[in-house]
């Protein structure tokens, strides 16, 4: 059985950030599942070459859109293309790190991370969900990161942006829980791609043996999608860890809605009594 993604096969799948790394592997795997493709990134030459390879190898139609998704006008153009394409699947994968101590990187780089990782992902999710609602089906895959759970020096905007992806995607899942629309959050750990050099740092920030290849990540993420997972973190062997995090989150929310000021903050009350 082809599974979740295959349920929509033969329709158009959109992959952002398809010119390298994780996005290029998604493009290949989705073409192998029979999807025609709309591939988006800034590097036209890379997209053209990949489009030719995939249509030769898999016999699918591949359209490319050269666009800087951090630029509002280009993003609006891609939103329109996504609507016109009647896409059945979107992989919101394009992302940037803007890594380095916040004082050492420009405000423009910080804003670029927000525009690409947050604004573009949100607007494209919105665009594709419109079509999914009218057809009653579709698959949205948002690429987050394990750093969503780890506030990190030298990755303040990046970590914050991926925390947004986590909460945005989990909230959408709750909104669409009773429909046939499938929404998956994928949380990669370190993956050997161009990401770190594009972000201006060396790959050696993590131990050598902590990296997966983009192929390992995407094949595992698609297995998670096929299994109906809402959140897929391919490197975590013990699923109980995520369940414990969820339980702690729910306990925190319950405690935070107590309607009472906690004892340790009632500093003025003794002297009033
Ligand atoms: N690698 C990791 O360790 C890791 C870990 C966790 C999460 N992730 C996430 O995985 C996703 C893919 O990253 P990757 O590792 O595959 O890195 P990558 O090889 O650098 O790929 C990033 C892709 O995004 C595209 N992109 C970057 N800026 C863009 C812009 N302004 N407009 C349009 N496209 C843009 C790039 O293409 P162009 O340069 O041609 O535009 C490229 O295709 C990202 O969301 C990243 O945050 C990666």
- From the CA of 43, give the closest atom in ligand 1: 40
- Give residue 4 CA to ligand 1 midpoint distance, Å: 24
Q: What percent of the chain has pLDDT over 70?
A: 95
Give me the CATH number covering residue 147.
3.40.50.720
**pLDDT tens-digit series, residues 11-54:** 999 999 999 999 999 999 999 999 999 999 999 999 999 999 99
Spatial contact of 77 and 16, defined as CB atoms under 8 Å apart: no
At 175 the pLDDT is 98
The phi and psi torsions of 266 (rounded to 5 degrees) equal -85, 60
Query: 111 is in which domain, residue-wise?
Result: 3-272
User: How wide is the angle at C-alpha 160 spanned by C-alphas 262 and 119, nearest 5°?
Assistant: 125
Residue 204 has pLDDT above 90, yes or no: no
- The per-residue pLDDT of the chain, averaged, comes to 94
- Tally the domains of the chain: 1
Q: Could you tell me the distance, in angstroms and rounded to a whole number, from the CA of residue 58 to the centre of ligand 1?
A: 24
Q: Which of 92, 94, 210 to mutate to test the pocket of ligand 1 (most atoms within 8 A of CB)?
A: 94
37 close to 60: Cβ distance less than 8 angstroms: yes
Whole-angstrom distance, CA of residue 94 vs CA of residue 143: 8
pLDDT at 205: 79
User: 100-158, pLDDT tens digit by residue?
Assistant: 999 999 999 999 999 999 999 999 999 999 999 999 999 999 999 999 999 999 999 99
176 catalytic residue (yes or no): no
Distance of CA 152 from the midpoint of ligand 1 (Å): 19
Pocket test for ligand 1, best of 14, 41, 192 (most atoms within 8 A of CB): 41
Residue 103 DSSP one-character state: G
Give pLDDT, residue 1. 26
Measuring from atom 46 of ligand 1, which residue has the nearest CA? 95
CA atoms lying within 13 Å on the CB side of residue 228: 2
Please report the atom of ligand 1 found closest to the CA of residue 190.
3
Q: For residue 46, what is the enclosing H or E element?
A: helix 44-58
- Segment 165-173 mean pLDDT: 98
Best residue for ligand 1 mutational test, from 21, 117, 213 (most atoms within 8 Å of Cβ): 21
Q: Which pLDDT belongs to residue 133?
A: 98
* Phi (first) and psi of residue 145, to 5 degrees: -170, 155
Ligand 1, residue 16: give the atom nearest the CA: 34
CB neighbour burial string for 138-162, b if at least 16 within 10 angstroms, e if fewer: bbbbbbbbbbbeeeeeebbbbbbbb
For the chain, strand residue ranges (E) read: 12-16, 36-41, 62-66, 89-92, 138-143, 181-186, 191-192, 212-213, 231-232
**pLDDT the model gives residue 203:** 66
């Amino acid at each position: 059985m082809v599974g979740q993604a295959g349920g929509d096969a033969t329709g158009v799948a959109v992959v952002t950030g398809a010119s390298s790394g994780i996005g290029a592997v998604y493009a290949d795997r989705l073409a192998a599942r029979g999807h025609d493709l709309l591939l988006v990134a800034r590097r036209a030459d890379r997209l053209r070459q990949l489009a030719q390879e995939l249509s030769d190898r898999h016999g699918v139609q591949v359209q490319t859109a050269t666009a800087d998704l951090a630029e509002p006008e280009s993003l609006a153009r891609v939103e329109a293309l996504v609507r016109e394409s009647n896409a059945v699947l979107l992989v919101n994968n394009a992302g940037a790190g803007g890594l380095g101590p916040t004082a050492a990187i420009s405000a423009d780089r910080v804003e670029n991370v927000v525009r690409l990782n947050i604004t573009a992902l949100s607007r494209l999710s919105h665009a594709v969900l419109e079509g999914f609602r009218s057809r009653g089906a579709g698959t949205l895959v948002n690429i987050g990161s394990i750093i969503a759970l780890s506030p990190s020096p030298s990755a303040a905007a990046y970590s914050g942006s991926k925390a947004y992806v986590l909460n945005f995607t989990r909230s959408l899942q709750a909104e669409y829980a009773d429909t046939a629309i499938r929404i998956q959050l994928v949380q990669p750990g370190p993956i050997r791609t161009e990401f770190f050099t594009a972000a201006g740092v060396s790959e050696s920030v993590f131990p050598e043996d902590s990296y997966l290849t983009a192929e390992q990540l995407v094949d595992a993420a698609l297995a998670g999608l096929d299994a109906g997972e809402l959140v897929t973190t391919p490197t975590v062997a013990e699923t109980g860890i995520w369940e414990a995090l969820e339980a702690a989150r729910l306990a925190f929310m319950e405690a935070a809605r107590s309607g009472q000021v906690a004892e340790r903050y009632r500093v003025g009350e003794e002297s009033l009594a």
